[in-house]
Amino acid sequence: MKQLIINADDFGLSLGVSQGIALAAKTGVLTSTTIMGNMPDLRQHLKLLDGTQIGLGVHLVLSAGKPVLKPDVVPSLVDGRGCFRRNFRQAVKLANPQEVKQEWQEQIEHILNLGVKPTHIDSHHHVHMAPILTRIAVELAHYYGIHAIRRITWRDVAREQGLRLATLTSPVIIPSARIIARSGLKYTHRLIALTEENLRSLLNLGEGTFEIFCHPGVVDAELRSKSSLLSEREDELRLLTASCTRKIVEQARVELVTFGVFST
């Protein structure tokens, strides 16, 4: 059996992003999204998903917006304005792990309090793949009964970004992937970026459960103030809702699923 999860990161980042994700779930092939638990107005954003069967996970945040906790409780995580550092490498480098655990726990609690039962965990800018943060994400997943987590392997990076970046990131990616493999949590066989070429490659995949990750959205003023990923989000939204994309998925004979398949 060949199963495919198509997950949109960044739900809640802006109203336009959440609207785009909702549209991709209602009229396209999107099956899953992960929620940024530190963003405002999430209850209103979640109403956009009414009537869908989309799976909902946790998008742990360390490099966008403000922490849920007060800045003086997590001083290593914030800049002089009390916001997370947008440079994710600096955010990880300067973060006190105990403060990360406290903040991520609050983000998960916030999502749970909205009535969401998370199917899985991933993170903004993949920061949970820094080994010291991988351990925290794994611990929190077990604590909250979340059965699955996004795992990125050296081969995933090599396929999507090339050998040079895979080699540069291998001191981080390889130990992190091993931690997850030994954690008892579930994960997909492969992580794939959303491109038309990668969609067509589904025809050549063997059996297994695979994740395509993406960042669809409608660009609005709020998004422009928070992210450098702009027109690409609208390009991905068009691809997710295109009739040719659904035809490709049907031809590949994959079952569209959520991370909920790992809950049984």
pLDDT, one tens digit per residue, over 240-261 is 999 999 999 999 999 999 999 9
Q: What is the pLDDT of residues 43-75, one digit of tens each?
A: 999 999 999 999 999 999 999 999 999 999 999
Angstrom distance (rounded) from CA 22 to CA 18? 6
Yes or no: say if 28 and 236 are a contact pair by the CB < 8 Å rule: no
CA-to-CA distance for 155 and 170, rounded, in angstroms? 10
H helices of 50-96, in order, are 88-94
| Mean pLDDT confidence for 124-145 | 97
Say if residue 35's pLDDT is above 80.
Answer: yes
Query: Taking Cα atoms as reference points, which of 38, 13, 40, 8 lies closest to residue 24?
Result: 8
Instruction: Please check the confidence at residue 29 and state whether its pLDDT lies above 80.
Output: yes
Percent of residues, the chain, with pLDDT higher than 70: 99
* pTM of the predicted protein model: 0.96
- Per-residue pLDDT for 31 more than 90? yes
pLDDT (average), residues 73-86: 97
pLDDT at 167: 75
pLDDT at 163 over 80: no
Third-level CATH fold of 2-263: TIM Barrel (3.20.20)
The predicted model gives 171-178 an average pLDDT of: 90
Which residue, 67, 68, 89, 87, is CA-closest to 78?
A: 67
Domain ranges of the chain: 2-263
How far apart (Å, rounded) are the C-alpha atoms in residues 253 and 214? 21
Q: Name the nearest CA neighbour of 214 among 234, 194, 200.
A: 194
User: For residue 203, what are the CA distances in angstroms to 32, 174, 197?
Assistant: 21, 28, 11
- Is residue 258 within 8 A of residue 30, CB to CB? The reply is no
44-53, 104-113, 191-200: least confidently modelled range: 191-200
